[in-house]
Amino acid sequence: MQEFTFSTTGRISFGAGTAGQVGAQAAELGVKHVGLVTDRIVRDLGLIDTAQESIAAAGLALTIYDGTAPDPTEDMLDDAVQTLSGCDGIISIGGGSSLDIAKLVAVRLRSTQPLTEMYGVGNVTGGRLPLILVPTTAGTGSEVTPISILTTRSNEKMGVVSPVLLPDVAVLDPELTLGLPRAVTAATGVDAMVHAIEAYTSKLRKNPISDALAREALRLLGGNIRTVCDTPTDRDARGAMLLGSCLAGQAFANAPVAAVHALAYPLGGQFHVPHGLSNCLVLPEVLAFNAPQAADMYAELAEILFGTGVTLADGFRKLAPEIGLVTTLRDVGVTQDDLHGLATDAMKQTRLLVNNPRPMTYEDALAIYQAVL
């Protein structure tokens, strides 16, 4: 067995109503003035209300930044840092975009290092403020990953990857996911499955702990995704999806994702396709491409998700329309003329492509986009 290192969030709280603990948890971390990162939809839906009450009950000051949006940008980060400049601790309640912004706000408010020097793996040199993350979607697993993804001013997806970004506390409250629309539930659920699949087949850092987490994540996700799409108020199914997403996040935080994400990022950067959906679109064809090198592992995972006699790629080809997801690039506005640019940008995602079980060339990426068109 090869050497490996496994890191994750220091504390994870799971259960209905646990968002009401964040004020006390922030106080335990020595926070006096909370900066809360969220988005307007989450705020308008009242999903931060319980946390606000707990922050007030703990006697802490509060400033809210609610300007995050899908595919968070460098400008968004700058706005959040300016708004929260007087805070000494960060809490985020929202989807992966809010959580990703919050991680970097916590760093930027403690460090003078330029953002451009942070991009890449292991380049953050400063510390961060105390950080508590509370996801409202069951998909990204951002609450347990040392990763933040931004869209740059040149419309490229860039990642900051550093253990500094792992939060102090992750709070998993299934109650916050009950109001998710079907399309978001479906896309984020498949996104979490992608995290588990790519972690399980990661070429460079696959390890026994991530493997175990990935298998359990897929058991929870595969066993509940149809239920949460068809019966969105099923609290047990929502909790299973949220926990599955977290376990998948722990897995890929230590055994990194690969070509599915590399081909998905340009769809978000160029066409602003939500990240979960962009992963869903390219997933079956990337799985088919990788199958010659990953056949045995894919067979194990296909049985967990779909039972015997179904390939992983075919299982997802069938699942997507069942849960209401579009399945072609044309459905999101991509044309034949766009494929060259997409493939070119995908090949820039070298930190991801090195993890793929099968080497991928520009021609391979172009053929996959063509097959999905």
Task: Compute the distance between CA of residue 230 and CA of residue 223 in angstroms, rounded to an integer.
Answer: 13
Whole-number Cα distances in Å, 16 to 9, 171, 365: 20, 10, 42
Q: Write out pLDDT tens, residues 205-221.
A: 999 999 999 999 999 99
Strand partners, 142: none
Whole-number Cα distances in Å, 165 to 10, 186, 223: 12, 27, 31
**Do residues 155 and 232 share a domain?**
no
Query: Which pLDDT score, from 0 to 100, does residue 303 have?
Result: 97
Sequential DSSP letters for 86-150? T-SEEEEEESHHHHHHHHHHHHHTT----HHHH-EES---S----EEEEESSSS--GGG-SEEEE
Phi-psi region of 309 (alpha: psi -120 to 50; beta: other; left: phi over 0): left
Kindly state whether residue 6 falls inside one of the protein's structural domains: no
Q: Write out pLDDT tens, residues 62-118.
A: 999 999 998 899 999 999 999 999 999 999 999 999 999 999 999 999 999 999 999
**Do residues 252 and 170 share a domain?**
no
Q: For the chain, what is the mean pLDDT?
A: 96
Range of 332's domain? 180-372
Return the CATH number at 340: 1.20.1090.10
Q: Looking at residue 332, what DSSP letter applies? A: G
The structural domain count of the chain equals 2
Q: Write out pLDDT tens, residues 19-32.
A: 999 999 999 999 99
End residue of a domain, out of 147, 175, 203: 175
Q: Name the band, by pLDDT with cuts 50, 70 and 90, for residue 269.
A: confident
Indicate whether this model's pTM tops 0.85: yes
Kindly state whether residue 1 falls inside one of the protein's structural domains: no
**Do residues 248 and 336 share a domain?**
yes
End residue of a domain, out of 115, 144, 175: 175
Count how many Cα atoms sit within 13 Å of the Cα of residue 264 in the half-sphere of its side chain: 27
End residue of a domain, out of 120, 145, 175: 175
Q: Which of 101-115, 124-138, 151-165 has the lowest mean pLDDT?
A: 151-165
